[in-house]
Chains A and B, each alone.
Chain A
Amino acid sequence: MKLDASELIALLKGDSQADKVVPPSGYTATLTLFTSAAMAFLAVFALALSLATGRLADRWASELARSSTVRISAPAGQMEAQTRAALEVLRTTTGVASAKALSQEEQRKLLEPWFGPDLPIENLPVPQLIEVIEDASGYDSDGLRLRLSAEAPGAVLDDHTRWRKPLIRAADRLRFLGVLSIFLITLATGAMITLAANAALSANAQVISVLRLVGAHDAYIARAFVRRFTLRALSGALIGVVAGMLAVAFLPGTSEAGGFLTGLGFQGWHWLLPFVIPPLAALVAFWATRTAALRRLKELT
């Protein structure tokens, strides 16, 4: 790796001498440039996706964690008393910022999507809901459950863990998929550059044998190809990243209700992250071409 680093530096400093001994190649160069640009473009989106899902998971985790619900199912006669008892328990619980029993009107609104607006809610054994908002420190849900069951046997505490966990798991999985995509894009770039480099090495077999004949070292011959592909990958990726970032920047703005979609994009210093892609592409191209060239040269005498 030390050798690689010094060679990479020599490469960036520029040795156009070695470059010229290999004939210029027209359309394969364009193809490499194009693939590198396309891959970088995709990588920008994968990066945006993983960052956005990361933020989403954090948001869901914090928002849902701060609210919970107490549901009271009791015979009609005891409902009022149990609700009051539960509210009393909640008021004296540390970590609960506020607790509010939903009015009939509010409960009807919640059920409206399922039963329509004319539901005679008063005549139905609908449980009473209490909305609980935590403060920053949070409460001990097991302790609260015990106290509620003592004071209001019909009360069931739902701290939304049931809901939150799968949502966060989904968001985490999405983030993982985004990272995996970046990884796959990197591998695919390496594979494509290896193929392109092998094609170039085959096309220039004659050149290589002449260079070998006049006493060129493997490193010299490899450098001629490596420099080319590294620069192509670097410039292609730069184009792709700029295009990708423009596309992300000009995503149509959605309202807060857009939820997930609003989040897709970069925020703050994250805008700098895509600029890691071109050097990464160059590094991949450098490594892929060098490996391909040295492997190919070893087969010659």
Chain B
Amino acid sequence: MDWRRSIFLIVVAIETFSILMHNCLQFVKKGQYVIELQNVAYNYGGGALLSDISLKLAPGSFHFLTGPSGAGKSTFLKLCYMELAATSGRVQVFGKDVAAMGRDEIARNRQRIGVVHQDCRFLDHLSISANVALPIRVSGRDASAEEANLKDLLSWVGLEDRADALPAELSGGERQRAALARAVIMSPDVVLADEPTGNVDWEMSKRLISLLVELNKMGKTIMIATHDLNLIRTAKSQVNARVLRISNRQLQLAGADL
């Protein structure tokens, strides 16, 4: 009977060990935050806009960012996508200190972050499909090789018929969807959206949110700055979203009040 007991013990030991290892690896993986801010402050010429902000964005998380206009939502996002440098504190993107990154390294990391702006920011002389493919083009990859990918993406956002239109010929909702398509064409790890529903009607807002929820389910980290509480409620019914609020220069986690 002793040998059976020994085998059982060995099996238990191996199993325990493997579970421990697995947990360990999980922990290591989780340790790599997509974006991490530590005691970050940002001052405009006049005074402090944001101060003592700390946040860790875990991979696959879904965040809303709210707050009154002028509170610094856009600035906060700009710190996340490295358009602005923090006045003090430390910003890490994909585990690297932004302050230590060169311009080319920032550019490379931006290719892993999709940004959707309220005003879309297209190149007005290029067609929608060229605009959506722009990140591929500037990354030096062959845009023609990604033709099928581009087509799929345009049909995903419902713009396959408008591929050759110029941005000015599109409606607000179409432009926002095109902007979303451009943000995700490089298959980024993070999508940051600054008031993506600012210029579109409620139906279109819901559609955009469901596209973003879909992206989140594919594993993308999402952060949406918005002051539209209805939008947040709608999203919360579909996804486990956390709500951050900026007020008085501070970032707080908004509770279950929504």
Contacts and interface: CB of A to CB of B under 8 A. Distances in A.
Interface in A198-227: 206-207, 209-220
B107 A301 contact: no
A21 B138 contact: yes
A272 to B, nearest CB: 39
Given A21-B123, A209-B121, A218 B103 contact: yes
A21 B121 CA distance: 13
A215 B121 contact: no
Contact of B108 (A17, A21, A215): A215
Contacts of A219: 104
Interface stretch (B9-17, B81-89, B237-245): B81-89
A301 B82 contact: yes
B93 interface: no
A13 interface: no
Interface size class of A (residues with CB under 8 A): 20 to 34
A217 B104 contact: yes
B104 A211 contact: no
B235 interface: no
A125 interface: no
A301 B83 CA distance: 5
Interface string B134-178: 110111100100000000000000000000000000000000000
A214 B125 contact: no
Given A215-B108, A215-B135, A210 B103 contact: no
Most buried by A among B103, B104, B108, B143: B103
A298 to B, nearest CB: 7
A220 B123 contact: no
B113 to A, nearest CB: 8
Interface in B95-118: 103-104, 106-111, 115
Contacts of A210: 121-123, 134
A15 to B, nearest CB: 10
A20 interface: yes
Contacts of B104: 217-219
B188 to A, nearest CB: 9
A117 interface: no
A166 interface: no
Contacts of A297: 103
Contacts of B73: none
Contact of A212 (B84, B107, B140): B107
Nearest to A23: B125
Contact of B84 (A21, A23, A301): A301
A209 B121 CA distance: 9
A190 B106 CA distance: 31
Most buried by B among A214, A220, A298: A214
B85 A215 contact: no
B228 to A, nearest CB: 23
B186 interface: yes
B182 interface: yes
A204 B103 CA distance: 20
Contacts of B123: 21, 23, 207, 210
Contacts of A206: 121
B142 to A, nearest CB: 10
Interface string B197-224: 0000000000000000000000000000
B126 interface: yes
Contact of B134 (A24, A214, A218): A214
B79 to A, nearest CB: 10
Contacts of A24: 125
A206 B182 CA distance: 17
Nearest to B83: A301
Interface of A: 17, 20-21, 23-24, 206-207, 209-220, 297-298, 301
19 contacts: A20-B130, A207-B123, A210-B123, A211-B134, A211-B138, A212-B110, A213-B110, A213-B121, A214-B182, A215-B107, A215-B109, A215-B110, A216-B107, A217-B103, A217-B138, A298-B103, A301-B82, A301-B84, A301-B85
Given A23-B123, A215-B138, 18 more contacts: A20-B126, A21-B134, A21-B137, A210-B122, A212-B107, A214-B134, A214-B138, A215-B108, A215-B109, A215-B186, A216-B138, A217-B108, A217-B138, A218-B104, A220-B138, A220-B140, A301-B82, A301-B84
